[in-house]
Chains A and B, each alone.
Chain A
């Protein structure tokens, strides 16, 4: 059940992704309206992170494409921001909270140029927005998991984008931090930003997101939460894998077949 958006901010067309020649996402096709707080839902191994990494250009798809603001990613990089999973970096890196948040301004400042006062002010403001002022100069390894997550969100805020992709921002944070983070995300939506969040807890998802994309290696549903979140869709998302699809996937891998003929 896929409900397409009018004037979409993000369109994904028949996106197919393989790892080691094994298909992990099959022909994903959906669109998102702007100004939503959208959740990407699905069980472990459903390809949620893979989907946003592909949209962000970190993984090259085997087939299909995605458009942001009606254009290809490279033309609108400055309007898009990405929050990676917290475990993807080494927090023992010699940097303070401020140093990391300032990294959100590096691409804007440009190569050869130094960071301006205005850039630093944006970073300070972002730190304030996530409530980490008193940790500004703290070495990042001396933060709790929830604080580290907020550092990443502050860095994304410093990018001052219009469309945000966040990979599991609620993983490994306590209930209070989760509430703080969702408040920040809702504030962003109020200001007209579009936020797409990879999330795996269904219970809270219904409460948090006004738009949902349900995945399980294939697109199960996409649309306003109230319209698509029903028993049947949940069963299809969290229930067992499609048997034939899994078998065909194995076959493609074992015979080293290209997933698209013109590859």
Chain B
């Protein structure tokens, strides 16, 4: 509790730096990554992230300094070369995009690891800490770092804002953008540069390996919640900011916990929650609909079966025992108990002295489903020219779907038929 208060009072300058730094890094990479996501270039962020490592090592080897500006410049250069290399391979060889990405990533990262190992085995005085680029070092960000990265993050956010409508159009329909006279080449170069910059800056927090997650996960999660691009990007930004604060807090509260991986973990949880719970698109929503459909089908099938039994017995007021219901063989015994309970609580059936009776509504509903079944069978024989022995299974499903408006149209189209294709009476 103390730690929570201490952290969120932001009195400690170090806490302020680390939190502000991580939030800015996270938000800027989420915004830039949003466009990679929409352009289906999700893997290029990963390639750039891995290709930055040789740049950092080379800059260090040549200038023998850990000045962030020098290392970031090196990172930016090899990051850029990797994009150019991917484009070149796609354009000038038979290889497709996936192969080009895989090749460039592994070659650049391989060179990076080679250089990193070489550096660690020399006795250059200040080589320690270079390996932090592999996994990030958000918790040890100091004032000077935050100034530099914060500045770049703000520049990124401003550029995305300024070029928002152009970047949107290029992401949606590049050819149209080109023909309408927008400088598409420039905009694409801008987007690539923004991505490289976002990666270069973000790598400070989460490292080479996890960087792709910071670019793509926020948008992938946010897309579940909105069909509006601005809302989607805003949500992606909020998710990222939240992950930044959470990561900073966790590594503060539990020393030894790294900020970067926690940020990615928090983002992943948000993405998984979105995947399951988002309205309309989430798995849960689909699952609930299916469950509701199954319940409706069971209830209506039982009412229909009861109605048909009453129809043959020519008595609609008789009570039926559970054994009678079982002998109808429409539902499994376990499901039957639950369905009768539902029907009683929905007042379609009345339960009295171990017997089930139709209510007025229940009888009407059973009759209606029977009618729809037989009408649909008629429709199939008449309009789809199906033989009578081919129409039952289809009608078993469609009888649950037909709305009252459709029912009217259906009866009109068939001219109020009296009997179904099997010579059974259609009840009205």
Contacts and interface: CB of A to CB of B under 8 A. Distances in A.
Interface of A: 53, 56-58, 77-78, 80-82, 84, 88-90, 93-96, 99-100, 103-104, 106-107, 109, 111-112, 115, 139, 155, 159
Contacts of A115: 165
Contacts of A56: 178-179
Nearest to A78: B181
B176 interface: yes
B181 A139 contact: no
Contacts of B287: none
B227 interface: yes
Nearest to A141: B227
Given A82-B175, A95-B172, 10 more contacts: A57-B178, A57-B179, A77-B180, A89-B173, A93-B38, A95-B227, A103-B169, A106-B177, A107-B177, A111-B182
A94 B181 contact: no
B180 A106 contact: yes
Interface in B164-199: 165-166, 168-169, 171-173, 175-183
A103 B179 contact: no
A90 B171 CA distance: 10
Consensus secondary structure, chain A interface = mixed
A78 B180 CA distance: 7
Contact of A84 (B166, B176, B183, B232): B176
Contact of A80 (B166, B169, B177, B179): B179
B166 A103 contact: no
Nearest to B173: A89
Nearest to A115: B165
A103 B163 contact: no
A13 B82 CA distance: 40
B232 A107 contact: no
Nearest to B222: A94
Given A94-B223, A95-B229, A112-B162, A82 B179 contact: yes
A159 B171 CA distance: 19
B227 A77 contact: no
Interface string B45-89: 000000000000000000000000000000000000000000000
B228 interface: yes
Contacts of A90: 40, 172
Interface string B139-165: 000000000000000000000001101
B173 A111 contact: no
Nearest to A107: B180
Given A82-B175, A93-B38, A106 B232 contact: no
B298 interface: no
A94 B178 contact: no
A191 to B, nearest CB: 20
A82 B232 contact: no
A95 B169 CA distance: 11
B178 A58 contact: yes
17 contacts: A58-B175, A78-B181, A89-B172, A93-B172, A94-B38, A94-B229, A94-B232, A95-B227, A103-B168, A103-B172, A106-B165, A106-B180, A107-B181, A111-B163, A111-B183, A115-B165, A139-B227
Given A94-B229, A94-B232, A112-B162, A159 B180 contact: yes
Nearest to A159: B180
Contacts of B229: 93-95, 99
B175 A77 contact: no
Contacts of B181: 77-78, 107
Contacts of A89: 172-173
B226 interface: yes
A106 B173 CA distance: 12
Interface in B397-413: none
A103 B228 contact: no
A77 B162 contact: no
Contact of B179 (A58, A94, A99, A111): A58
A111 B165 CA distance: 8
B227 A82 contact: no
A105 to B, nearest CB: 9
A29 B61 CA distance: 60
Contacts of B172: 89-90, 93, 95, 100, 103
A136 to B, nearest CB: 13
A78 B168 CA distance: 20
Contacts of A109: 165
A88 B179 contact: no
A71 B226 CA distance: 44
